[in-house]
Structure 1
Amino acid sequence: MPWQIVIVTIIVVAVVMLPFVALYLRRRWLTGQGGLFDCAYQLPDAPGPAWVLGVARYRREQLEWFRAFSLSLRPKHVFPRVGTTYVHQRTPQGLEAIALFEGSLIVTLRDKATGSTSALSMASDEALALMSWLESAPPGSHYLPGSADSPNPN
């Protein structure tokens, strides 16, 4: 009888710990695929400043954003270098300062194709790296076919 209690206890502890182990292994896998940094994403259609904690990484010519508490190995949002422009940055205000990491900056990006904006919160070093990454795209890659700022092919 006491062995049954021990076995049940071990099974219950294993089942409770399984999601935490899975999150840890996911984070390790993402880190192994490239430099990972903490980055929160502001939900665009939510009432008020709704921030979701996550991580981001640069992969090929994209910035990929993943939810922190998800088991998915696919990014939730992808920001292509060619189609993304830096708009501005600011410090968190009001409740944002409590919800986000200390010392973080909020960077606003614009999608060139749709004109929509996205806000990301990250440490100041990562914000500087993001601006450098966006500005260091190869010459001519900032032009999208058919856009108003495309160079005249003639």
Structure 2
Amino acid sequence: MGYVLWTVLAVVLVLALVLVVGGSRLRRLSRRVGSFQCGARPGDNPSGAWSAGIAHYGVGRIDWFRCWSLAPRPARSWRRDRLEVTGRAPLDLAGQVDQYLVRCRYDGTDFELTMSAGAYAGLASWLESAPPGRRDLVV
């Protein structure tokens, strides 16, 4: 009986630790300057599932972190000079007020992002402020 109790206690303790570490990571990522909530999915599957995440502007790149992960590194990184926005559409019809579906291409691979109107304005400004010769990145 004691063995089962210690095993259950150890499992509960590990789960609590994972929740604390995961919550701390999510809080730290969302409070960084230059971070915004951003869902992502591959562009070749319009009915595919979205992955919730937080994007963060870096020097010349955007790093995207999954919300439900313990990984310290971003799941995706997109360099500004290779990222282009190919389209956008408001998601007001889907009951998501002030949200955009943003279609992007990176190194020939299409994907979609969801973000707020303010986050899209920031993304468009960030892409347009690229060095001379790279101002064709935003639709």
Under TM normalisation by the shorter chain, which class is it?
Answer: 0.7 to 0.9
Structure 1 residue 102: deviation in Å? 4.8
Which residue matches 1:108? 103
Q: 1:109 to 1:69 in 2, by over 3 A?
A: same
Structure 1 residue 116: deviation in Å? 2.0
Contact 1:34–1:59 under 8 Å retained in 2 = no
CA distance in 1 between counterparts of 2:65 and 2:74 reads 5
Counterpart code for 2:101: I
- Pairing 1:128–2:121 present: yes
Which residue matches 2:91? 92
Identity %: 32
Q: 1:38 to 1:105 in 2, by over 3 A?
A: same
Which secondary structure state, in structure 2, belongs to the residue aligned with residue 82 of structure 1?
helix
Which residue matches 2:132? 139
Question: Structure 1-normalised TM-score?
Answer: 0.70
Counterpart code for 1:91: P
Which residue matches 2:79? 80
CA distance in 1 between counterparts of 2:32 and 2:65 reads 13
CA distance in 2 between counterparts of 1:48 and 1:15 reads 35
Note the alpha carbon deviations across 1:26-71, whole angstroms, 9 max, x for none.
Answer: 1244346543211000134557232111110001110111111000
CA distance in 2 between counterparts of 1:124 and 1:32 reads 19
Which residue matches 2:26? 27
Which secondary structure state, in structure 2, belongs to the residue aligned with residue 120 of structure 1?
strand
Q: 1:8 to 1:117 in 2, by over 3 A?
A: closer
Structure 1 residue 9: deviation in Å? 8.0
Which secondary structure state, in structure 1, belongs to the residue aligned with residue 127 of structure 2?
helix
Structure 1 residue 103: deviation in Å? 3.1
- Stretch moving more, 119-128 or 36-45: 36-45
Counterpart code for 2:121: L
Bigger Cα Rg: 1
Which secondary structure state, in structure 2, belongs to the residue aligned with residue 117 of structure 1?
strand
Contact 1:43–1:52 under 8 Å retained in 2 = no
